Amino acid sequence: MTDHHRIKGVLSPVVTPFAADLATDPERFVRQCRWLLSQNVGLAVFGTNSEANSLSVEEKIELLDRLVAAGLDPARMMPGTGCCALPDSVRLTAHAMKVGCGGVLMLPPFYYKGLSDDGLFRSFAEVIERVGESRLRVYVYHIPPVAQVPITLGVVERLLAKYPAQIAGMKDSGGDWNNTKAFIDAFGTSGFDVFAGSETFLLQNMRNGGAGCISATANVNPGPIAHLFDTWKHADADAQQARLDVIRGIFQKFPMIPALKAAIAHHGRDVSWATVRPPLVALTSAQSSALVGELDRQKFTMPGLAAR
Amino acid sequence: MTDHHRIKGVLSPVVTPFAADLATDPERFVRQCRWLLSQNVGLAVFGTNSEANSLSVEEKIELLDRLVAAGLDPARMMPGTGCCALPDSVRLTAHAMKVGCGGVLMLPPFYYKGLSDDGLFRSFAEVIERVGESRLRVYVYHIPPVAQVPITLGVVERLLAKYPAQIAGMKDSGGDWNNTKAFIDAFGTSGFDVFAGSETFLLQNMRNGGAGCISATANVNPGPIAHLFDTWKHADADAQQARLDVIRGIFQKFPMIPALKAAIAHHGRDVSWATVRPPLVALTSAQSSALVGELDRQKFTMPGLAAR
């Protein structure tokens, strides 16, 4: 399958800014997304790291509309639209199509556990049928540590057979390279684009025919991750990967979402960014200091963030 | 704490009827709820067995409004209002208060796993604060096999200390009697009402100071379960419990929600009741026949259902 408009490269599950009263903050969100695009990173808004499931459908629709109204290119957007309830997934996915998003990243319904392949297939199929758009591009989202509902090879095989145009790829956040490779090996030649769930696997993914990565830490280290995507065939690629791994490793010592927000608050000189919605809890000031200190020792910067 | 209007007894997480196109069916829903009340069973609508997380917030609000408009007593209703997103939980809980529900059954936010007690406490506290109703009665919902986010003794202790009026009790669907008993022992004397998550533990729960049960199989066997609640001090209580366990055991051989709906479809002579929303899958006809056959051998009936 040839599709020149396919999303490739590095995307960020953009963290969502909240006001002190926990309301969403569309202005800060637009500025953050514009900054990420300036770093050559696409917008996988409403992902796990966006606290997407802590937002109502209405809030997500408003945030997406604000990005488009601000002139950001919807072809660079892959919003998360998979919800537990079919009507919510249909509504969000249809809205993403209406505003021209390049694709959608779709969680399976994640309340019931131990689902059958039949039930999972039908969940995705009903959304695709109801949205009814040939230009829809669905990336299925495999994140068993959180959703506890895995996407199987069998489900993707059935989906690709029935919806070859709409089933565009996946994000694999399972943390198991062998699983990522199994999906590339099984479906890569059908034009199924496999995004690694973090830059830890970016180089490996590119060398094996993957499409890029969608990573939490692309919120804070976007430029260097995007640079590795652009230059993965260069001689210094392994050295770049090692450097990315050091930065990612620092963030992984802390609860990821609060840590991303703490780094943005610090480097963007805007303390309000540290706010998370429950059930998450912000880093303590001791944790924030430890994070910032470790990043400083690595001469970590976020170029252009404070000026955004 | 004395509160004569407290919900006690047996409640059913009412299964939600869908049309062939998977739309909710408010008329069938009202008829089903009226029948359950006629069997002396309260209405824990929008529970796990209601496929509540497969419904949008708007659908739940409409269904609740239809029950109240049909004249069913909201004091007998304990709708599930706990969602992943704070604004959704606030909206549903406020609506339940507005229409006069006797209480609400509140899941924790269930997308993120490994939550801190702090994050869980804050999740419930924000809903209570934002709804801002002294007559709110919250029953926290512990169902780790599905939600994968347990409610701890520590969280309930903190909630009770801060919101002694609003924190009314819990439903324990963990399947571990020792956990149920630990909550009764810790908080029962504070007026915290512990409902067992199935009638399997009903007699044990009553003998230890519990408040009743909220059970999937109260959808299909409501009268006998409610009778045990009414007569648990009688000499035949253990025999009643054993008989309830036989019927429950049959349902437990099948996927529970599709099995409940299949039994209602058969005994209510209305095949459309068998419809489930994805990601669930209806029983096969072979499974339905096996279920009905096993129930028939136990002379199982659903009195008044076909006439409802």
Per-residue pLDDT reduced to its tens digit, B231-272: 999 999 999 999 999 999 999 999 999 999 999 999 999 999
Which residues of chain A have a CB within 8 Å of the CB of B88? 56
Residue B115 CA to residue B212 CA, distance in Å, equals 29
Residues of A in contact with B86 (CB under 8 A): 22, 54, 277-278
Q: Which residue of A has its CA nearest to B281?
A: A119
Torsion sign, CA atoms B228, B229, B231, B234? positive
pLDDT exceeds cutoff 60 at A1 = no
Structure token digits, residue A181: 């490779």
Model confidence band, residue A274 (pLDDT cutoffs 50, 70, 90): very high
Does A40 lie at the interface with B, CB-CB under 8 angstroms? no
Cα B91 to Cα A262, A279, B60, B127, distances in angstroms: 29, 17, 11, 9
Task: Work out the minimum CA distance from B17 to partner chain A, whole angstroms.
Answer: 15
Asked if A55 lies within 8 A of B118 by C-beta distance, the reply is no
Asked if A129 reaches chain B (Cβ–Cβ under 8 Å), the answer is no
State the Cα–Cα distance between residues A76 and A8, nearest whole angstrom: 9
- Residues in B touching A126 (Cβ below 8 Å): 22, 278
Q: What global pTM score does this model have?
A: 0.97
Residue A241 lies in a domain: no
Rounded Cα distance between B106 and A14, Å, is 29
Q: % helix / strand / coil in chain A, to the nearest 5? A: 50, 10, 40
Which residues of chain B neighbour A53 with C-beta distances below 8 Å?
84-85, 109, 111-112
pLDDT above 70 (res B273):
yes
The residue of chain B with its CA nearest to that of A90 is B56
Burial of B19 (0-12, 13-18, 19+ CB in 10 A): exposed
Q: How many CA atoms lie within 13 A of A167 on its CB side?
A: 20
Residue B241 to residue B229: CA distance in whole angstroms: 10
Evaluate whether residue A305 is within a structural domain.
no
CB neighbour list of residue B227: distance below 8 Å, 6 or more residues apart: B40, B240
Q: Which of B88, B149, B278 sits opposite A56 (nearest CB)?
A: B88
Bridge pairing between strands A42-43 and A138-142: unpaired
Q: Is the pLDDT of residue B14 over 70?
A: yes
A39 in a structural domain = yes
Choose, out of B281, B283, B284, the residue to mutate when testing the contact with A (most A CBs < 10 Å). Answer: B281
- Sequence-ordered strand ranges (E) for chain A: 9-12, 42-43, 104-106, 138-142, 167-172, 193-196, 212-214
B53, A279: Cβ pair inside 8 Å? no
**Cβ-Cβ contacts under 8 Å, A88 against chain B:** 56
Tell me, yes or no, whether B47 lies in a domain: yes
Q: Which residues contact A119 (CB under 8 A, 6 or more apart)?
A: B278, B279, B280, B281
Using a CB-CB distance cutoff of 8 angstroms, which residues of chain A are in contact with residue B147?
Answer: 111
| B278 contacts on A by Cβ (under 8 Å) | 86, 109, 119, 122-123, 126
The answer to whether the Cβ–Cβ distance between B109 and A146 falls below 8 Å is no
Longest dimension (CA), chain A: 52
- A86 vs B58, B119, B278: nearest CB: B278
Inter-chain CB proximity A87 and B112 less than 8 Å: no
Q: Give the span between the Cα atoms of A288 and A285, in whole angstroms.
A: 5
Please check the confidence at residue A106 and state whether its pLDDT lies above 60.
yes
Q: Is residue B251 part of a domain?
A: no
Q: Provide CB contacts within 8 A for B289, sequence distance 6+.
A: none
Handedness of CA A52, A55, A56, A60 (dihedral sign): negative
With a CB cutoff of 8 Å and minimum separation 6, the contacts of A216 are A13, A48, A49, A198, A251, A256, A257, A260
Instruction: Give the Cα separation of A89 and B84 in Å (integer).
Output: 15
User: Looking at residues A275-283, what average pLDDT do you find?
Assistant: 98
Asked if the structure places residue A252 within a domain, the reply is no
> Tens digits of per-residue pLDDT, B136-181?
999 999 999 999 999 999 999 999 999 999 999 999 999 999 999 9
pLDDT value of position A3: 62
The domain in which residue B54 lies consists of 9-223
Q: B22 vs chain A: nearest CA distance in angstroms?
A: 9
CATH number of A48's domain: 3.20.20.70
Task: Note whether B22 contacts A: Cβ–Cβ < 8 A.
Answer: yes
Nearest to A218 by CA among A199, A245, A195: A199
Among candidates B55, B59, B108 on the partner chain, residue whose Cβ is nearest the Cβ of A279: B108
Q: Which two tokens stand for residue A257?
A: 């979402």
Count of domains forming chain B: 1
Q: Is the pLDDT at A2 greater than 90, yes or no?
A: no
d(CA B242, CA A272) in angstroms, rounded, equals: 58
Give yes or no for residue A28 having a pLDDT over 90.
yes
Quote the DSSP letter at residue A265. H
H/E stretch holding B9? strand B9-12
Per the CB < 8 Å rule, is A281 touching B118?
Answer: yes
By the 10 Å C-beta count (0-12 exposed, 13-18 middle, 19+ buried), A27 is classed as exposed
- The C-alpha of A58 sits at a distance from chain B's nearest C-alpha, in angstroms, of 10
Angle formed by the axes of helices A177-187 and A153-162, to 10°? 30
8 Å CB contact between B6 and B195: no
Q: If contacts are CB pairs under 8 Å, which of residues 262-301 in chain B contact chain A?
A: 277-281
Average pLDDT in chain A: 97
- Give the residue from chain B lying closest to A114, CA to CA: B146
- Does B1 have pLDDT greater than 50? no
pLDDT score of A167 more than 70 = yes
CB B247, CB B253: distance < 8 Å: no
The 10s digit of each residue's pLDDT in A242-255 is 999 999 999 999 99
**Residue A234 falls within a domain, yes or no?**
no
Contact flag B279-A123 (C-beta cutoff 8 Å):
yes
The SS3 of residue B196 is strand
Q: Which residue has the tokens 């709708």?
A: B79
Decide if B231 is inside a domain. Answer: no
Query: pLDDT by residue (tens digit) across B40-67?
Result: 999 999 999 999 999 999 999 999 999 9
Which residues, in sequence order, are CB contacts of A238 under 8 Å at separation 6+? A203
Distance CA B225, CA B247 (A): 11
B59 in A contact zone (CB under 8 Å): yes
The tokens describing A30, both together, are 């637009």
Work out the mean pLDDT of chain B and round it to a whole number.
97
A-B contacts (CB, under 8 Å): 109
- Kindly state the helix (H) or strand (E) to which residue B214 belongs, with its residue range: strand B212-214
Report how far residue A65's alpha carbon sits from residue A99's, in angstroms, rounded to the nearest whole number: 8
Is residue A37 scored above 60 in pLDDT?
A: yes
Those of residues 68-97 in B touching chain A at CB distance below 8 A are 84-88, 91
Candidates A237, A282, A59; CA nearest to B83 is: A59
Are A122 and B22 within 8 A, CB to CB?
Answer: no
CB contact, 8 Å: A100 with chain B?
no
Q: Which of A13, A25, A19 is nearest to A53 (CA)?
A: A13
B49, B197 contact by CB (below 8 A)? no
Cβ-contact A308, A34 below 8 angstroms? yes
Hunting for tokens 């997103």 — which residue is that?
A: B85
